[in-house]
Amino acid sequence: MSLYGVGKGLFRVYFKLFNRVTVVGRENVPEDKGILLCSNHINNLDPPLVGAMFPRDVHFMAKAELFSIPILGKLIDKVGAFPVKRGMSDKQALRSGMKFLKDGGVVGLFPEGTRSKDGKLGEGLSGAGFFALRPEVRVVPCAIQGSYKPFGRLKIVYGKPVDLSSLREEQGAAKKATQAIMKEIQDLIEIHHK
């Protein structure tokens, strides 16, 4: 079993025991093709939660600073994360993400770019829209709700793939695509509010 598989199994047990996590919408996840998984961001544990509960392996785009932390940097690299330099257009990160998607993999993004301090969904960055508009990509919105406190309750909801085909030929489409994705995430949050 791969390091990713071991980690996924351990985190799945942890979240089920200590956060009584429930998963809604697994049937909305395509079994093939490249998937861009876009989620709200409320805690540093969001990536392991989303990765552990998602039915396919997820390659997360992670801030470049994490890769320079001893042990953690090597670990997240081994589980398929790839670095992005925040606050600038990072062509290498875009290339890495596109390769995973073209190969039929899953790329996980938190379009807000940073954790929400108040738990409310912030504005998404247009990088998510850049990936989302590629014809071979299915965009799956995801909402995380609840508390990571020990024995708190967590819920993770996967929505139906977002249809962005009408935006592909439009000017400034990346920003509009990101806005459409963020609206889907917000709708999931509201519909499945605890």
Query: What does the pLDDT look like over 73-106, one tens digit per residue?
Result: 888 888 888 888 876 667 888 889 999 999 999 9
Strand pairing category for 137-146 and 58-63: unpaired
Is CATH 3.40.50.2300 what the domain over 3-191 is classified as, yes or no? no
Place of tokens 């257009």: 89
Looking at the predicted structure, is the pLDDT value of residue 18 above 90? yes
Per-residue pLDDT, averaged over 17-36, amounts to 94
Looking at the predicted structure, is the pLDDT value of residue 1 above 70? no
Domain ranges of the chain: 3-191
Query: Which pair of tokens denotes residue 31?
Result: 């079994």
Per-residue pLDDT, averaged over 163-189, amounts to 91
What's the rounded Cα separation, in Å, for the pair 134 and 51?
A: 23
